[in-house]
Amino acid sequence: MLKKTALALALNLSIAAMAQAETLRLSHWVPATHPVQVTGIEPWAKSIEEASGGDLSIQIFPAQQIGSAPDHYDMVRDGIVDISWTNPGYNAGRFPIYSLIEIPFHISGGAAGAKAIHSWYQDYAKKEMSDVFFCAVNSHETGALHSKKKITQPSELSGLNIRPAHATMARFVSNLGAAPVQVPAPEAREAIARGIADAITFPWGSIYDFGIDKEVKYHMDLPMYVSAQVLLFNKDSLNGLSEQNRQVIYDHCTPDWSQKMSQGWVDDDRAAREQMIADEGHTVTRPSEEEEALWREAAIPSLDKWKSDVAASGIDADKTYEDYLQSLQENNADY
């Protein structure tokens, strides 16, 4: 009788635990095989599940299954998903402070850069992304320019159609006489294949991930920019968790986790770059010091425009910029 009672009690406790377990839905827009998911999101989600003792699990929806890439901020804000992997740069003008990280020639490394961005932006996020909970930054290694013809100087962009990584890069190429073709990453290959775009700013690994290596054969080996995505939580979803489980989430929304989540993507990009250099069907060219100086000079108007936009919203642009530079330096991520 005692054995039956103990068994029934254990069964009831198990059922109660299952009833209390919560599944959070996470949406992103790259393939499920992409390092963003395999080396970043999945280990992060597994760590959350383990730290919560199985109370929390995260169900991942990749490849725009729930919504298109540009819609991911609104999706998590509105509770369509509990967590989203969002590119703020797909929402032009909406997050002017964050767009600072998109200005070329500031970041030298993606993983350390992700930690630096998180450390710098986490307080600004409370103002600029106040309707969601800012959790983490996920960055690729510094991206490059990939094109149908060899390019090493800014003047050679004039007259070309270029798919930029985000709105900031769109303004950058526009200032150099190019026409931006603004399509999300999953649509980039088609734009190039159909002749709508002549070049693209993209991470090295994603050139292979999206099959764009079949369309562009020339690559400028210059670390131009990052497009650092952010992991965001719906506030109601987060606040609906127990205090203990909310703390588990907070413990996984730190600058260190931003770096850890980004490292696999960065390693993949670095390996892809080496693969591209070794591929006889591709030409990888490093601009000269004089040419690089021209590129860096070409980015100055983008920084001036950022300062103007941020100042207009009542933010001290100079202090914000200096804080950003300091965070990059402290994390050995400055270019």
Residue (of 225, 213, 334) closest to 272 by Cα position = 213
What are the residues whose beta carbons fall under 8 Å from the beta carbon of 306, sequence distance 6 or more? 96, 99, 100, 103, 168, 317
Model confidence band, residue 273 (pLDDT cutoffs 50, 70, 90): very high
pLDDT value, residue 21: 76
Q: Is the pLDDT of residue 296 over 90?
A: yes
What are the residues whose beta carbons fall under 8 Å from the beta carbon of 55, sequence distance 6 or more? 17, 20, 21, 22, 242, 244, 245
What are the residues whose beta carbons fall under 8 Å from the beta carbon of 267, sequence distance 6 or more? 35, 39
Q: Is the pLDDT of residue 333 over 90?
A: yes
Q: Report the C-alpha gap between 253 and 258 in whole angstroms.
A: 7
Torsion 23-26-32-34 (CA) sign: negative
Q: Is the pLDDT of residue 261 over 70?
A: yes
On the 0-12 / 13-18 / 19+ scale of CB atoms within 10 A, 20 is: exposed
Q: Break the chain into its structural domains and give their ranges.
A: 2-330
Phi, psi angles (nearest 5°) of residue 124:
-65, -30
- Is the Cβ–Cβ distance between 227 and 114 less than 8 Å? no
The residue type found at 253 is C
Q: Report the C-alpha gap between 188 and 199 in whole angstroms.
A: 10
pLDDT value, residue 92: 87
Q: Of all residues in the chain, what percent carry a pLDDT higher than 70?
A: 94
Distance of CA 112 to the CA centre of its chain: 13
Q: Is the pLDDT of residue 224 over 90?
A: yes
The residue type found at 131 is D
Q: Is the pLDDT of residue 259 over 50?
A: yes
Helices (H), 129-251: 167-175, 188-193, 204-209, 235-239, 243-251
Query: pLDDT (tens digit, 9 = 90+) per residue, 166-219?
Result: 999 999 999 999 999 999 999 999 999 999 999 999 999 999 999 999 999 999
pTM given for the model: 0.92
Model confidence band, residue 20 (pLDDT cutoffs 50, 70, 90): low
DSSP-derived secondary structure letter, 107: B
Q: Is the pLDDT of residue 16 over 70?
A: no
Q: Is the pLDDT of residue 6 over 50?
A: no
Q: Is the pLDDT of residue 326 over 70?
A: yes
The residue type found at 81 is V
Query: pLDDT (tens digit, 9 = 90+) per residue, 125-145?
Result: 999 999 999 999 999 999 999
* Tokens linked to 224: 């131009």
pLDDT value, residue 3: 42
What are the residues whose beta carbons fall under 8 Å from the beta carbon of 220, sequence distance 6 or more? 144, 145, 146, 147, 151, 152, 285, 286, 287
Its CATH class, for the domain covering 2-330, is: alpha beta
Query: pLDDT (tens digit, 9 = 90+) per residue, 74-113?
Result: 999 999 999 999 999 999 899 999 999 999 999 999 999 9
Average pLDDT, the chain: 94
Query: pLDDT (tens digit, 9 = 90+) per residue, 229-253?
Result: 999 999 999 999 999 999 999 999 9
Q: Report the C-alpha gap between 248 and 138 in whole angstroms.
A: 19
Model confidence band, residue 4 (pLDDT cutoffs 50, 70, 90): very low
Summarize the confidence of residues 18-34 as an average pLDDT.
Answer: 87
* Tokens linked to 335: 């270019």
Place of tokens 């588990």: 248
